[in-house]
């Protein structure tokens, strides 16, 4: 739900900045019918989806596995429908105008935007609540597996705990940080002229908004550690082992946190670009169900995201996608403006913004998923290397590293992967999937399937040539991404200077006032 919440927030900012269409309904009765009707529709569909998954779960010995697949597909469809109903609410009703007319509320920066998001938040909460029956079925099965592995049975969530955990982790984790950006948007929009008087630069309000967004992103890990109910990992053998691992691999972080979930979540995450506010989180379920070696492997995976600067590359990707989308919109606008007779029809500003939205969706839908899945595999490789035995006598697998570890590899910086390290990390990945109720062959937009990631690691351990090719692919992806980003920035700056010079050459009062660039707002890595 993180991505859908971010898209809903970006959609609202776009609507507030440059409303593409006027609402079809103008009366409050129609508005409330749409707002409440979307909640009823999602509640009915989510209930049907949950009951169908429960029936599949109870139908046969393979029912639990099939039900997990069905539940995850249904969740994706429901989240998309929640987003679409919010878009329909913006387009069909005067909801935004109605909120803006609430006098006491409209004077508090950021609060109107949060209230405008309420239909999305309530509808998403209803979808989560209606999925409780199948989630509880799956978690009872997972609890049995944990009891078999560890000898202790975690207490399965009741409805209140389930709803609270998911709302905090899927919705509040996005909405709380973005509220500060909404507040900055309100201030820069309302007091634009006052800002320009103090800072006589045309893009000063946008710069203030951008700096606020950057500050929120940097400070978000500190906020999330409280929203996600965490505490510092107590001192003991495991923490000392992880701290030694940090020293060995050069990972700097503010703290190692225990992520409290009542033992129901088996996962880990890393948050933060800057070391003073970077946290590595390990869930209580992970700590109770996995061995210390497996925990170190998962920890190494999260460290891999930091050491390979994946979050920074994701930020570069987001910035580049906005510049490319803006360039596509500006290109269509200028083409139509300079060659009006070439095109058989005229693009309105709404249709030009629609083109920009399509470009953004294509870049993120295809490009970001491709990059993210390969970054996850690079983090897997780093995690496997973190648990490579120091002594070849501890390696119990046919290994390309230890029998010739002392031999220099032909002018190649790629160190062979230990098969034992790959095996340890693979067992940790499999445990994470099984104990979270995730089918091992199921893939997602950002992650390859657990089974394919394990197979990939085993292939890299068995064939050094494959390992060299994989690491070369990662290098090419990063270099290409950076090259595109640099080119996009240079072109954008050059075009901005050209437009500025053109405006300066026009007589005062005749300078064109068209909007040149149309902005789009933009994303912690986990296992």
The number of residues in the chain equals 527
Q: What is the pairing mode between strands 279-283 and 230-232? A: unpaired
Q: What is the pLDDT of residue 397?
A: 61
The pLDDT score that the predictor gives to residue 522 is 39
Identify the pLDDT of residue 349: 66
Sign of the alpha-carbon torsion through 236, 242, 246, 251: negative
Q: Cα–Cα distance between 316 and 163 in angstroms, integer? A: 34
DSSP label at residue 278? -
For the entire predicted model, the pTM comes to: 0.80
Residue at token pair 């593409």: 20
CB atoms within 10 A of CB 167: 18
* pLDDT tens sequence across 85-118: 998 888 888 888 888 888 777 778 878 888 888 9
Tokens of 190: 């309302």
d(CA 143, CA 64): 14
Please give, one letter per residue, the 3-state secondary structure of 52-89.
HHHHHHHHCCCHHHHHHHHHHHHHHHHHHHHHHHHHHH
Is the CB of residue 269 less than 8 Å from the CB of residue 527? yes
What's the rounded Cα separation, in Å, for the pair 237 and 197?
59
The residue to which tokens 């019918």 are assigned: 33
pLDDT at residue 395, as a whole number: 64
The Cα 363–Cα 359 span in angstroms is: 6
Would you say 516 and 4 are in contact if contact means Cβ atoms under 8 Å apart? no
Phi, psi of 390 (to 5 degrees): -75, -30
- Across the beta sheet with 525-526, the strand order is 230-232, 255-259, 279-283, 268-271, 525-526
Q: What secondary structure does DSSP assign to 211-223, as a single string?
A: HHHHHHHHHHHHH
pLDDT score for 510: 46
CA distances (Å), 40 to each of 124, 162, 173, 259, 465, in order? 12, 21, 25, 34, 56
Strands (DSSP E) contained in 188-246 are 230-232
Q: Can you tell me whether residue 232 is helix, strand or coil?
A: strand
- Copy the structure tokens of residue 111: 């609060």
Distance in angstroms (rounded) separating the CA atoms of residues 288 and 424: 17
Low-confidence ranges of the chain (pLDDT < 70): 61-62, 149-151, 340-350, 390-414, 499-500, 502-527
What are 282's strand-pairing partners? 258, 268
Question: Can you tell me the distance from the alpha carbon of 362 to that of 156, in angstroms, rounded to the nearest whole number?
Answer: 40
Nearest to 281 by CA among 315, 312, 258: 258
In SS3 terms, 149-183 reads as HHCCCCCCCCHHHHHHHHHHHHHHHHHHHHHHHHH
The pLDDT value recorded for residue 344 is 59
Which one, of 178, 180, 204, 181, lies nearest residue 191 by Cα? 204
Residues 474, 482: Cα–Cα separation, whole Å: 12
Q: If you ran DSSP here, which 8-state letter would residue 409 be given?
A: P
**Per-domain residue ranges of the chain:** 1-190, 318-403+413-505
Q: Is the CB of residue 93 less than 8 Å from the CB of residue 35?
A: yes
How far apart CA 339 and CA 71 sit, in angstroms, is 51
CA-to-CA distance for 375 and 382, rounded, in angstroms? 11
Are 353 and 20 in contact by the 8 Å Cβ rule? The answer is yes
């Amino acid at each position: 739900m993180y991505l859908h919440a971010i898209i809903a927030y970006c959609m609202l900012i776009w609507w507030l900045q440059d409303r593409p269409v006027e609402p079809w309904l103008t009366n409050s009765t129609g508005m409330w019918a749409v707002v409440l009707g979307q909640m009823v529709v999602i509640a009915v569909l989510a209930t049907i989806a949950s009951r169908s998954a429960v029936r599949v779960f109870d139908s046969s010995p393979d029912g639990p596995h099939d039900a997990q697949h069905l539940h995850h597909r249904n969740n994706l469809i429901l989240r998309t429908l929640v987003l679409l109903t919010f878009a329909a609410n913006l387009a069909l009703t005067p909801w935004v105008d109605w909120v803006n007319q609430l006098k006491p509320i409209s004077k508090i920066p950021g609060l109107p935007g949060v209230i405008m998001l309420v239909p999305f938040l309530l509808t998403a909460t209803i979808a989560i609540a209606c999925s409780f029956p199948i989630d509880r079925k799956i978690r009872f099965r997972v609890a049995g597996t944990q009891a078999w592995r560890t000898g202790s049975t975690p207490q399965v969530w009741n409805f209140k705990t389930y709803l609270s955990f998911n709302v905090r982790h899927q919705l509040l984790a996005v909405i709380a940080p973005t509220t500060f950006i909404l507040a900055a948007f309100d201030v820069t929009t309302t007091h634009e002229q006052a800002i320009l008087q103090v800072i006589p630069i045309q893009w000063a309000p946008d710069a203030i908004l951008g700096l606020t967004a950057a500050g929120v992103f940097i400070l978000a890990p500190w906020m999330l550690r409280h929203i996600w109910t965490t505490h510092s990992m107590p001192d003991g053998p495991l923490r000392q082992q992880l701290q030694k691992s940090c020293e060995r691999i050069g990972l700097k972080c503010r703290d190692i946190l225990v992520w409290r979930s009542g033992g129901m979540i088996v996962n880990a995450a890393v948050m933060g670009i800057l070391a003073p506010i970077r946290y590595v989180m390990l869930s209580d379920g992970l700590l109770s169900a996995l061995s210390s070696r497996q925990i170190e492997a998962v920890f190494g995976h999260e460290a891999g995201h930091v050491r390979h600067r994946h979050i920074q590359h994701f930020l570069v990707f987001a910035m580049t996608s906005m510049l490319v989308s803006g360039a596509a919109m500006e290109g269509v606008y200028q083409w139509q403006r300079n060659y009006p007779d070439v095109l058989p029809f005229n693009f309105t500003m709404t249709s030009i913004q629609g083109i920009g939205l399509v470009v953004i969706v294509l870049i993120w839908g295809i490009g970001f998923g491709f990059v993210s899945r390969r970054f996850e595999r690079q983090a897997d490789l780093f995690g496997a290397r973190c648990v490579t035995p120091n002594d070849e006598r501890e390696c119990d697998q046919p290994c390309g590293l230890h029998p010739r570890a002392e031999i220099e590899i032909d002018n190649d910086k790629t160190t062979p992967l230990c098969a034992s390290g790959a095996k340890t990390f693979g067992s940790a990945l499999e445990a994470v999937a099984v104990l979270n109720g995730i089918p091992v062959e199921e893939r997602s937009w950002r992650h390859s399937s657990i089974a394919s990631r394990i197979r990939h690691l085993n292939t890299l351990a068995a064939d050094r040539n494959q390992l060299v090719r994989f690491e070369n692919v990662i290098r090419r992806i990063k270099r290409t991404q950076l090259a595109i980003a640099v080119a996009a920035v240079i072109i954008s700056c050059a075009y901005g200077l050209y437009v500025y010079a053109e405006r300066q050459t026009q007589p005062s009062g005749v300078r064109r006032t068209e909007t040149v660039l149309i902005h789009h707002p933009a994303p912690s890595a986990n296992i």
